[in-house]
Amino acid sequence: MSADPSPFRVREVVAAGRTEPAFLLLHGYGASSFSWREIEPVLARRGRVLSADFVGLPPGGVPDSAYALPALVDHLANAVLERELAELTLVGHSFGGGITLALALRLQRAGRPVSRMVIVSGVAYEQRLPPFVHIANRARFAEAAFDVVSPALLAGQVLRSIVYDPGCLTRECIEGYARPLSEPALQRALLATARVIVPTELDRLTAGYASLHLPALLVWGRHDRVVPLWVGRRLAADLPRAELVVLERCGHLPMEEQPRRLVTCLVDFLQRTSAGSGQSA
């Protein structure tokens, strides 16, 4: 296993007694584990919960390749293997959903397949990049934006552009998403990640989805403008044991737009696919 520093800080949520099943939560690009604040306590009543926050690497000649998908997945695979997480469920949103798919394949190759996946509006195929990733790709412009625009204003503009009804976004919500954006290390990491966000091995990766014979819950907003619904439908067709739930009047952030519906879908899925249910992997 690599001893290199990890761009992730893996935080363990205190659970009530049980250490398995285990859950690993992976947030989206530019977000943090704050986005799972409604989900963490629900899962913590059922097992061991870990949230991975993307924090970047120490400054000093870090190549962009350190933020490419294979490198990110290797660090997370090491975290899983080192902790010997049992009956593991991966939960990923947006870019974290894409990492979830790649991580599931990586662990399967290592002989440690995961038990279940939950992907919320996750990237999976070649698609048009959202405007905020295009802006991050323009390094000088993006760096200037971080210098002159407050994190709260920046986060608010992006969040309002990706939800169905901006009225769902409270000040607390915007401040929570904005908080990590004030960290220079994370700013550098986000800009580097944007430059390599499309995997060079994407065709090989997508071809592997059919080998993931595990229960998978896919949750999508019908009005998602970041990762369109066609991605969820195609992924549901490619994954052998996937089910797709489409949320009406919802955009790219179901955890903010329809948290109760998301929790209901998640709990129902976990109950139906838990060990001993007759439907588990």
> Is 179 inside any structural domain?
no
40, part of any domain:
yes
User: Does residue 177 fall inside a structural domain?
Assistant: no
Query: Is residue 69, in this structure, part of any structural domain at all?
Result: yes
In a domain, 223, yes or no: yes
Domain containing 72 — which CATH number? 3.40.50.1820
What are the structure tokens assigned to 38, written together? 């409604």
Instruction: Say if 121 falls within a structural domain.
Output: yes
> Hunting for tokens 């963490």 — which residue is that?
40
Say how many C-beta atoms besides its own lie within 10 A of residue 8's C-beta: 20
Question: d(Cα 192, Cα 197) in Å, to the nearest integer?
Answer: 9
Q: Which of 30-39, 43-52, 58-67, 107-116 has the lowest mean pLDDT?
A: 58-67
Whether pLDDT at 88 is above 60: yes
Asked if pLDDT for residue 124 goes beyond 70, the answer is: yes
> What is the share, in percent, of the chain residues with pLDDT greater than 90?
79
Domains: count for the chain: 1
Model confidence at 216, in pLDDT bands (50, 70, 90)? Answer: very high
Question: Of residues 274 and 158, which shows the higher confidence score?
Answer: 158
Peptide bond connecting 21 to the previous residue in cis, omega within 30 degrees of 0:
yes
Instruction: Give the residue numbers spanning the domain of 212.
Output: 8-128+201-273
Smallest CA-to-CA distance from 251 within 169, 180, 194, 134 is with 169
Q: What is the pLDDT of residue 281?
A: 36
Q: Which amino acid is at 105?
A: L
Please give the mean pLDDT across all residues of the chain.
91
**Domain assignment present for 22:** yes
Helical residues (DSSP H) of 58-197, grouped into ranges: 69-83, 95-109, 131-137, 139-148, 151-162, 171-178, 184-195
Mean pLDDT on 82-110: 96
DSSP state at residue 215: -
Q: Is residue 70 part of a domain?
A: yes
- pLDDT band at residue 148 under the 50/70/90 scheme: confident
- Average pLDDT of span 241-267: 98
Pairing status of strand 8-13 against strand 48-54: antiparallel
pLDDT > 90? residue 4: no
156 versus 16: the higher-pLDDT residue is: 156
Q: Which pLDDT score is estimated for 19?
A: 67
Whole-number pLDDT of residue 280:
43
